[in-house]
Amino acid sequence: MGDGEFLARLSEDDKIALVQAGRTRNAPARSRLFEQGDPGYEVLIVEEGAVKLTRASSDGREIVVAVRSEGAILGELSAIDGGLRSASATTLEATRLLVVPFTEFSTLLDTRAAITRVLLDVLADRVRGTTDQAVEFGTVDSLTRVCRRIVGFADAQSDAPTDGDVLTIPLTQQEIASLSGLSREAVVKALKSLRTLGWIDVHGRTITVLDLVALRERAIG
């Protein structure tokens, strides 16, 4: 679930240049950042928090296609090709963002080759991730998929949890289902199984990780 490699791969000089080109924006939990089909004017970098990306299905349902967390870049496709937003973005928790207008971002790409290289690497990783996800949905059981979502969210945190730490998942069961290509009922069943195994405890949206090692092993499939 994590996608913080954009900022992580930048040099300190390039990070400073990026910050100087933008401004900080604080957004409360569950607030819309942009809508699918809207024109874009700026890229967003998640400095703290988490954002879900969704697309509308043909029957009007909202499908969660990705969750971006600390360090991730959003809206970069519109900055590159000038097209409309390909997805909607909504904060999952209180989130701090670096907002960089397209004009300033384009200048950085033109004048700082290292930033362009990092962006290309991130886009390539996302394409590979989409391919891996397609394989997962066709071959991996529901329990493994849910384990992967929990472990992925844990790994995306700046202070990754260890056994016994409380990990708050700011996703509804339906959103986890959408991310995993499962029904909500399948997610509920999987969480119940993990709780029975003693690997997690669940109270609402709060998951206490009791055995992160076991979750990682099960996530391998």
Confidence tier at 143 by pLDDT (50, 70, 90): very high
End position of a domain, from candidates 111, 136, 161:
136
Confidence tier at 183 by pLDDT (50, 70, 90): very high
pLDDT of residue 63: 92
Residues 131, 22, single domain; the answer is yes
Confidence tier at 134 by pLDDT (50, 70, 90): confident
Q: Is pLDDT larger for residue 60 or for residue 6?
A: 6
Residues 106, 153, single domain; the answer is no
- The CATH number linked to 84 is 2.60.120.10
209: three-class secondary structure by DSSP = strand
Distance of CA 47 to the CA centre of its chain: 13
Residues 99, 37, single domain; the answer is yes
Residues 105, 179, single domain; the answer is no
Residues 109, 123, single domain; the answer is yes
Check the CA dihedral 103-106-111-114 and report its sign. Answer: positive
Range of the domain at 175: 140-220
End position of a domain, from candidates 76, 101, 136:
136
Which tens digits make up the pLDDT trace of 37-66?
A: 999 999 999 999 999 999 998 888 889 999
Mean pLDDT of 141-146: 95
pLDDT of residue 107: 97
The number of folded domains in the chain is: 2
- The CATH number linked to 193 is 1.10.10.10
Residues 92, 168, single domain; the answer is no
Which tens digits make up the pLDDT trace of 83-113?
A: 999 999 999 999 999 999 999 999 999 999 9
Please, is 15 exposed, middle or buried when counting C-beta atoms within 10 Å of its C-beta (0-12, 13-18, 19+)?
Answer: middle
**β-pair partners for 1:** none
Q: What is the DSSP string of 66-119?
A: EEEETT-EESHHHHHH----SSEEEESS-EEEEEEEHHHHHHHHHH-HHHHHHH
Residues 68, 125, single domain; the answer is yes
End position of a domain, from candidates 136, 167, 188:
136
pLDDT of residue 205: 73
Confidence tier at 1 by pLDDT (50, 70, 90): very low
Residues 130, 173, single domain; the answer is no
Residues 9, 112, single domain; the answer is yes
**β-pair partners for 68:** 51
Least confident span in 52-61, 78-87, 200-209: 200-209
Residues 88, 155, single domain; the answer is no
Residues 162, 216, single domain; the answer is yes
Residues 144, 121, single domain; the answer is no
